[in-house]
Amino acid sequence: MAAARKTHAGRWTRRQFLEMAAGVGLIGSLAAACAPAPSAPAPSAPTTSAPAAATTASAASATAAPAAPPTTGAASATVAPAAGVPGGGQAIISFGEPDTLLMSESRALVGAYIRSFIANGLVRLKYPDMTVVEDLADKYSASADGKTYTFELHPGVKWQDGQTFSSDDVKFTFEYAVHPDNPHPLTDDFANIVGAKEFKAKQATEISGLKVGPDHVEFSLIAPSPSFLVNVATAIIMPKHVLQDVAPADFPKHPFARQPIYTGPFKVDEWKSGESIAYSAFADHFKGRPKLDKVVQRIFPDPTTSVTELRSGGIQQAFIASPDQYQQFKSDSSYTTQELAGTLGWFFSWDMTNQTFPFAEKDFRIAVSHAVDRKTLVDALFRGLAEPGTSLASPLSWIYNPNIPTYDYDPAKSQQLLDGLGWMPGSDGIRVKNGQRLEYAMMVTSTTKDWFLAIQPMLQAVGVGISKVDVVDFPTWVSRLAIGKYESTMNGWGNFAIDPRADLANHFWSPTKAARGDATGYKNDQVDQLFAQAAKASSHDEEKRLYDQIQMLVEADCVYAYLFRPKQLGASVNNLVLPSAKIQAEIYDALPSWTLK
């Protein structure tokens, strides 16, 4: 029997798995592996977003300058509570450095975390289901035809410099978003505001479909849009009195981008590049003063530094990339730990336009999916602290369809499908068809290389060979993630940074894929039609039904071979009390409720 037929009966044992992985030191190589994807600009659905950043470690990792010198221990890091305020004190935490604090320009997921506790929009996306809820607006409503949205503003809101927030600030913010001198193109949903296109083209001096009163804001749309509220949620309101005399193109260079004034519960005191960002409680926040007085966010380029600092008392909370290091904190009674749902899912993708290999064949992609023993990967690589991958959408999101087809480990089924495609085992077990070996290149980064080496024997066991493990840096990986530039890759995508509609559209809707750069060549006319219908849905229920159908079709096509979704692993000193949460973003979103005891 050919080597390709010598598959394991049932699961791979941990010993077999590590032996087959040829001692590549997988367990210790996770320190750079769990970074969420960069966030996107204020999107319309669909939206362009970057693929998973595979060069940083966790949300706690930074990308630039040397670590700041150690600070005093956690016990001495607290200060006296503010008079009359329960709790008080200072918390020292660690996660990555933002690209900017001008939130309209931020492309880093770290920026989304910070945004949640320093700024506000009219409405916001609620974690983890990503539904829209009130924020600066106490109430919002849509007309029966879905073409008029009215937002009733919370009274008495103050900016962090003490000035009064008003509907003029809302008008100023949306005019900036569509301003003729704003270098960014008009998003589909903002172009849908009556008069926005004319304003962008300098044919009008204001947006005719944006009306403001003392206590409300009203938008008139050209056509109903189920994603309009999402775009409003991602538009952080900016202070007119601070920025009205700044040219829109100069906003990113203004001091505001490093020390902004927003309406959020914490204000930025100081940003030392590569070292730290200091925040203080905004006593007049319209939802109430935060319980902590101060928060210091330390920035470390090496993710292992945050572990060392957490142990020594230099910080009080961090997310841990290594499952082994996390288990050490979990077994230490001095710390409280949290195992949260994974933000980032990993999967194989292929260039389906390739004419040499059967990447365009659905049965080939299903065969690869059946060849992967996800449970063994989860147990061996992550000590069980991950979930097997089944979909692009997070199971926690409202958009997720729990009835999608999945592809369990079944090497016999994998072999059967490859046989059916005419790829038969050769003398060395690698399959051959018409003289062509089923042996292709796999593009990886330093993060994903060892993971792939762990999976490679599973592919070889069913006769799928790898001609080259092509290790590239992250910028090169991004630049080559397009049809015609690679054969296959170990890919990743982060949820909870943008609208979940955009998660799906970026990968499966042909027009969106063409606009952002098509990495697979996948096209399904029925899927495209359903996306177009969903974009015009008149109710959330109708939209949900259409997105359920989309997911059934694309997962039946097995566009990707899903692998795993590592959990986010948090640890904090016991005297820092954090809220319960399901995902990492919730932890920072609830920063105003953190307390010290």
CB atoms near residue 63 (< 10 Å)? 17
Where are the extended beta strands (E) located within 47-135? 90-94, 123-126, 131-134
Does the pLDDT of residue 547 top 50, yes or no?
A: yes
Q: Is 15 exposed, middle or buried (0-12, 13-18, 19+ CB in 10 A)?
A: exposed
Question: φ and ψ at 509, to 5 degrees?
Answer: -95, 115
pLDDT tens-digit profile of 250-272?
A: 999 999 999 999 999 999 999 99
Q: What is the pLDDT of residue 15?
A: 40
Separation in Å, CA 270 to CA 110, 117, 244, 277, 296: 17, 15, 23, 6, 10
Separation in Å, CA 66 to CA 42, 69, 73, 216, 298: 31, 9, 20, 47, 11
Q: For the residues 406-418, what does the mean pLDDT come to?
A: 98
The residue that leads in pLDDT, 582 or 66, is 582
Q: What is the pLDDT of residue 226?
A: 83
pLDDT tens-digit profile of 4-23?
A: 433 443 444 434 433 444 33
Q: What is the pLDDT of residue 47?
A: 36
- Check: CB of residue 127 under 8 Å from CB of residue 495: no
Q: For the residues 183-190, what does the mean pLDDT come to?
A: 86
Q: What is the pLDDT of residue 185?
A: 86
Q: What is the pLDDT of residue 80?
A: 31
Q: What is the pLDDT of residue 512?
A: 76
- Shortest CA distance to 458 belongs to which of 54, 16, 2? 16
Least confident interval from 104-108, 159-163, 484-488: 104-108
Copy the structure tokens of residue 262. Answer: 């927003």
- Shortest CA distance to 540 belongs to which of 142, 39, 223? 142
Q: What is the pLDDT of residue 565?
A: 95
Question: φ and ψ at 218, to 5 degrees?
Answer: -130, 130
Reported confidence tier of residue 87, pLDDT bands at 50, 70, 90: low
**142-158 residues labelled b (16+ CB within 10 A) or e (exposed):** beeebbbbbbbbbeebe
The residue that leads in pLDDT, 226 or 553, is 553
The domains located in the chain, with CATH, are 59-116+265-340+569-597 (3.40.190.10), 120-257 (3.90.76.10), 343-498+559-566 (3.10.105.10)
Q: Whole-prediction pTM value?
A: 0.78
pLDDT tens-digit profile of 287-328?
A: 999 999 999 999 998 878 999 999 999 999 999 989 999 999
Q: Is 6 exposed, middle or buried (0-12, 13-18, 19+ CB in 10 A)?
A: exposed
The residue behind tokens 């920063």 is 591
pLDDT tens-digit profile of 361-372?
A: 999 999 999 999
Q: How far apart are CA 566 and CA 586, in angstroms?
A: 17
Strand (E) or helix (H) holding 427: none
Q: What is the pLDDT of residue 318?
A: 94
String of DSSP letters for 135-164: SSEEEEEE-TTS-EEEEEEPTT-B-TTSPB
The mean pLDDT value of the chain amounts to 86
- Shortest CA distance to 52 belongs to which of 452, 395, 344, 396? 344
Q: What is the pLDDT of residue 150?
A: 98
Q: What is the pLDDT of residue 34?
A: 33
- Check: CB of residue 325 under 8 Å from CB of residue 379: no
Q: What is the pLDDT of residue 478?
A: 86
Q: How far apart are CA 338 and CA 347, in angstroms?
A: 25
Question: Residue 255 gets which letter from DSSP?
Answer: G
